[in-house]
Structure 1
Amino acid sequence: MLKPRSTATRELVNLDGIWRFAVAGTVGPEPWTGPLGTRLEAPVPASYNDLFTDRAIRDHVGWVWYQRQVRVPRGWTGERVVLRVDAATHEGRVYVGDALVAQHVGGYTPFEADITEHVGPGEEFRLTIGVDNELTGVTIPPGTITVAQDGRRKQTYLHDFYNYAGLARSVWLYSTPPVHVDDITVVTGLDGADGTTGTVGYTVGTNVPAAVRVRALDAHGTEVAAGEGANGTLRIDDVTLWRPGAAYLYELVVDILDGDGDGGGGDRVVDTYTEPFGVRTVEVRGTRFLINGEPFYFTGFGKHEDSPVRGKGHDDAYLVHDFQLMEWIGANSFRTSHYPYAEEVMEFADRHGIVVIDETAAVGLNLAVGSGLMGTPPRPTFSEDTFHDDTRAAHAQAIRELIARDKNHPSVVMWCIANEPSSNEKGAREYVEPLVELTRRLDPTRPVTYAAVMFATHDNDLIADLFDVLCVNRYYGWYVATGDLAAAETYLEADLRGWAEKFGKPIMLSEYGADTMPGLHSVWDAPWTEEYQLAYLEANQRAFDRVEALVGEHVWNFADFQTADGIHRVGGNKKGVFTRERHPKAAAHALRRRWTVLGGRKPSPAVRPGDDGRPEHDARHGDGGRPAVPPESGQA
């Protein structure tokens, strides 16, 4: 799905701002048939949960309603009028006047509707959008709804971040000509012995058969290649590559012509669309991850779209500031944990050379984690009574929509199709293998990964061989060997070496971290203190530096974030190296010292960033007679 852009043939109206807002049950049964009877108003984009002081709104399970008046620009006569919602978490329904024009399930990808037949140029119409936050066994992410004795509906879920809901991203009205471009796919490569010629494979979709012309422009707007037809390959001599930390973007200008497309004087442009792209290659070779043929070492974070008051609401100020903090700390990458982020985030990463692991919202497909936390009897994760074919169908649709939206971003170097699925359980392979095959069919150019939960080891994991890169989430020193960093370091190194020796693939620490209360200090390695977070990271990093197959380290998390209420979390998850308000903890400065030295290169075991001169295995960091593999333990 193409992102709406203003071009010579298209216009764009942003519908962000203050909308009327109501919770289902407080207005009539069909609130879209007239003005919402409410005094409440809510900003778009923003999650609604933290805006109001009424706890019933924050805890509401079900539909809420947004409404505003919209005027179609009077100059859109003869144009196609489209309404687009960047995201409605987790289900959306769109009404123009009394007419339902769009419905979509999935909280983090866009959907749109052609409303040309419902509106007219210069006319005003009533726009109502319903948003449902319910999670069930057939949604991605999944959840469960129960009804309390007093009739209140309660939502539970297995992911460790708050179920913010609403219109957290922008809403748009835009125009296109009746004959228009509706899809573009760009695949880049390098050609020639010296690798100085870029290849740009393109496929253009149009709503009806049409003559197509394409042109590639460099960053100065100079044409560097051109072609005719809806698909083909352009060649760019002396190409400037898109590189981590050194982004360079070209533009592919796609024109639909009303003539025969031969470029003669009779050809008239009836639609034009510009798609930015970067020329770069991605490859897994042995245990190395290569970008443009050069080994790349990931440094950075799992993140969240999370900030005070806004919840998951996109905010350009936070976008710029977060990227500034990542640059300051030396991070070259992040994972969109645990859902697709706003398209503005992806575009910013493209422009600034930040590498992205792009993830679906498939988090929580693991009933063993919940059983371990609550002490309840385990249930099978994959079964007719839990997660089954219908769940996988929703999961597959999430993958389709993610790739359709983000396939042309040069910053995206890998697809992550699930976070911490129960990959060691019976039924895991049957559930996952078709999804891996689907991902490769949709995009054969990028590696595919998943993030393995602590329960899944190299001995019992049933799906690791299906993937190109093995991302593992490990919390030795926090959920396992809590407070014993010597044991944690030994356990982690043995764990990583087990994966490397069995599968011979690149391995990445996609999560490691320790909850830390800012301002809490101790002279000992006491969990929750800033000193412990620092010592925890260093112990993990020493193990990383001794495992040759490791290709990256993502700390969990970039910043503290909100979670569901409960005894396992006090005011949210505190594993951030920045607070929720983006103030650095002590660990942030230590990471900066390490990562700015690494600069995207794998550290040498002999000389490690920040090495204090101690022997590789001293008394503090030896195995202490402990087993090389720890007992199984859960995490929260």
Structure 2
Amino acid sequence: MKSRNRRRFLSALPLAAVSGAAASQPAAAAGFQAEHSLDGHWQFQIPGGSWTTVSVPHTWQVMPGCEDHRGKAFYRRAFDVPAAWNGSTVRIEFEAVFHTAVVAINGQPAGRHEGLGYTAFAFDITSLLKYGAENEVFVEVDNAFFDRMLPRGNSSDWAHDGGIYRPVCLLVTPRDYVERVAIDAIPNLPSPTATVEITAHLHGSGLLSAEIRDLASQRVVASQPAIPAQGPVFRLPDLPIREARFWHFDSPHLYQLTLRFGSHTLTETFGVRSFEVRNRGFYLNGERIRLAGVERMAGSHPEYGMAEPAHWIEHDHRDMKELNCIFTRVHWQQDRRVLDFCDREGIMVQLEVPTWGQATFNGMGEKPEPWIVENGLAHLREMIARDRNHPCVVMWGCCNEIGGQRPADAAFAEAIYNEAKRLDPRRPRTYASYSLRQTPEKDVSRIMEAVSVNEYFESWNGGAIPDLVRMLDGIRDAFPQKPVIVSEYGYCACKPEWPEGDAKRRRILATHTEVFRKRHEIGGLVFFCYNDYRTHVGDRGRQRLQQRVHGVVDVYGRRKESFEALRRELSPIAELHDRFEDGQLQVTLKNRDTIPAYTLRGYTLRALFEGPGPTLLERLEAPIEVLAPGGSASFNLTPAYAKSPIAIYVDVLRPNGWSAFTEIWRP
């Protein structure tokens, strides 16, 4: 099994499109890596049932009659392999199968990927193919609750959707090829230059060259002429970028690396940025920032489940950008398309090993069982191998809500921490603790760069605001040098005695956020949750609608009143006042000096003047000068045409066009 990272292909063709000139020469001579999609029609069968046609990516947990099936199911499909591929290396890649996949090609075993339901894997099937003929892939999938993997058994609280639920493809390359590349692009602060470290994972030997382009302009900014290289791992000379443009959530600038290894070409997108924990705070490209955002639980739309189409991933994450989310965490490894969006649009992400809850280590005594440590390390290694080049990924999460003061749980977290530090030493590490209410100094949080705490006073924890303050005092005193992230807070109608009420969600959002803003040690907030989410332990609904009611939108994405309340709380704009007098719009605004807190650069004030109809009559804009946390600005805008508007829509726009704040003036 080979774990793979994200790629940018020079060719991405459906399998049926391999014809004519594209198939007239061996892929080894074509000089690029070709990706041929196997998405689309497959045959699917539940044991004892008949074969039926489904569309992959697919999960059976949203199929009528299959919603409650836990165990094995089977997929198969035929595909043609051109004779011209003979002499190439052909791999089959699955971006994720939950949770165990046994793959065969033409009846011959290709490989097994066991107990790793959220990470990509690939098998070399070169020797199993029939060239110039039809071939068949057969996949046995198992999603039975299983005690020897993460998440362990049925311990976790999200959808355990069985199936080939992310894209599948064939990768056709020359015999000698680049499997993946690790990129560290480091700003040389305070100068506007950067150093790019490139480590290529190679199959074979040959001449290796590198070229870096600005992705937007396609201008070459650095290059390395061809030099002899030998696998399996080869470190290229460092490449400098002069006048580098740094990746930031408000200006997510990207670069593209192209490696040429013999006749193989592989491209990879990356960003130049630094993210550090120091002085009890978080620093992005040298600037101290205080983070704020919301978590999304994937797989929650009842029609799609975990097999989310691209448009739904885009829908939810556009909502998150509208909510002013600049930082999120997730409980498990995400679809590549999620991270691509966050790279492109600017959301910082904490990715996690899917270790959920104290039940994970029940019965293990003083030490965790070796198999659970190995499974956790496999999750981590495959996650880092694929996702480390995404500039949006700023931290690794080791686990969630384990018994952080129990020996076995703590030893597991330490093993994950140490391996993450070895594999990717520049990214900080943390874990979302639920065991800090008493004796926090004994918690395994003590080894992490940042302390993360899940907080549910007035719901799961009971208690009230004074209890929350006491817990935060204890954490502050136990870890005086570490920044704190409130990694979850919110309200769930998760018990019969807790009726759904969005008003309570809004109240907890407002009152708890107010407490957090008064505390200088708190450097980040993640509200839970963006959406009501599907889960096999849900207390509302049944089958594909079994869910937790925890979000500011429902499972179909319909917004609740708390959506706008959360958008305001996550905005960097603390206040905006406007009035229209004597034909002039007067606006004053203030940047927050509490969470979220960061300098506004390249922002714009926009006013849309609406007349009868209603009809938008005029648009005026004014640049906002650089505004540090706590800073204020004032504007006078005089419309030339819309002298008597019936409404004025005032927005504070980020440099990449997203609105950070909206106010509507009416007479």
Shorter-chain TM band: 0.7 to 0.9
Alignment-mate amino acid for residue 536 of structure 1: I
1:45 pairs, out of 25, 49, 57, with 57
**1:391 is paired with a residue of what secondary structure?**
helix
1:382 aligns with 2:333: no
CA distance in 2, matches of 1:284, 1:605: 16
CA shift, 1:456, in A, is 5.4
* Equivalent residue, structure 2, for 1:19: 42
Q: Kindly tell me: are residues 458 and 318 of structure 1, through their superposed partners in 2, closer, same or farther at Cα, counting changes over 3 Å?
A: farther
Q: Name the counterpart of 2:144.
A: 134
- How far residue 5 of structure 1 moved from its aligned partner, in angstroms, is 4.5
- The residue aligned with 1:276 is 269
* Cα distance, 1:349 vs structure 2: 0.9
Identity %: 27
| 1:579 corresponds to 2:554 | yes
Which residue of 2 is the match for residue 30 of structure 1? none
Query: 1:252 is matched with which residue?
Result: 257
- 1:301 shift after superposition: 1.7
| Mapped pair 1:61 → 2:70 | yes
Residue in structure 2 matched with residue 356 of structure 1 by the alignment: 349
| 1:167 matches 2:164 | yes
1:201 aligns with 2:197: yes
Give the deviation of 1:212 after TM superposition. Answer: 1.0
1:448 aligns with 2:471: no
- Of Structure 1 and Structure 2, which has the larger fraction of its residues in strand? 2
Aligned residue runs from structure 1 range 105-504, under 5 A: 105=114, 106-143=116-153, 157-191=154-188, 194-219=190-215, 220-228=217-225, 229=227, 230=234, 231-257=236-262, 270-306=263-299, 307-336=301-330, 338-366=331-359, 380=362, 382-383=364-365, 388-454=369-435, 457-459=438-440, 461-481=442-462, 488-503=464-479, 504=481
Please list the CA deviations of residues 62-119 of structure 1 after superposition, one character each: whole Å capped at 9, or x if unmatched: 2100111111245424221111111110000111111010110210011111111121
TM-superposition CA deviations, 1:192-217 (whole Å, max 9, x none): 6x321111111112111322111111
SS of corresponding position for 1:178: coil
Range 351-360 or range 121-130, more displaced? 121-130
User: Does the Cα contact within 8 Å between 1:546 and 1:605 map onto a contact in 2?
Assistant: no
The 2-side partners of 1:89 and 1:98 are apart by 22
Asked if structure 2 preserves the Cα contact closer than 8 Å seen for 1:5 and 1:11, the reply is: no
Which letter does structure 2 place at the counterpart of 1:540? H
What is the CA-CA distance between 1:462 and the residue it aligns to?
2.8
Q: Distance in 2 between matches of 1:405 and 1:562?
A: 26
State the number of aligned residues.
544
CA contact under 8 A between 1:453 and 1:474: conserved in structure 2?
Answer: yes
Give the TM-score of the pair, scaled to structure 1. Answer: 0.81
Aligned to 1:623: none
Instruction: Say if 1:16 and 1:425 are closer, same or farther in 2 by CA, change over 3 A.
Output: same
Opposite residue 83 of structure 1, the aligned amino acid is I
Bigger shift: 342-351 or 457-466?
457-466
Using the TM superposition, give the Cα deviation of residue 365 of structure 1 relative to its aligned residue in structure 2, in angstroms: 4.2
Aligned CA distance change for structure 1 residues 456 and 381 (closer, same or farther; 3 Å):
farther
RMSD (CA atoms):
2.6
Shift of 1:46: 2.4
Distance apart, 1:501 and its partner CA: 2.0
SS for the counterpart of 2:248 is coil
**Quick one: which amino acid aligns to residue 223 of structure 1?**
V
Gaps of 5+ in 2: 11-30, 228-233, 575-590, 598-628, 632-667
Structure 1: 5+ residue runs without aligned partners? 27-37, 144-156, 258-269, 368-378, 482-486, 518-524, 610-636
Q: Deviations over 1:568-617 (max 9, x none)?
A: 877411111111111111111111112223599661799999xxxxxxxx
Asked whether the 8 Å contact 1:447–1:468 carries over to 2, the reply is yes
Distance 1:501 1:455, change over 3 A: closer
On the 8 A contact 1:360/1:399 being kept in 2, the answer is yes
Q: Find the aligned partners of 1:331 and 1:290 in 2 and give their Cα distance.
A: 17
Deviations 1:280-326 (A, max 9, x none): 00110021011111122222222211211211113111111112111
The answer to whether the 8 Å contact 2:70/2:145 transfers is no
**8 Å Cα contact 1:296/1:602 also seen in 2:** no
With over 3 angstroms needed to count, the CA separation of the structure-2 counterparts of 1:179 and 1:39, relative to structure 1, is: closer
Alpha carbons of 1:526 and 1:560: their partners in 2 closer, same or farther (altered >3 Å)? Answer: closer
Partner of 1:366: helix, strand, or coil?
helix
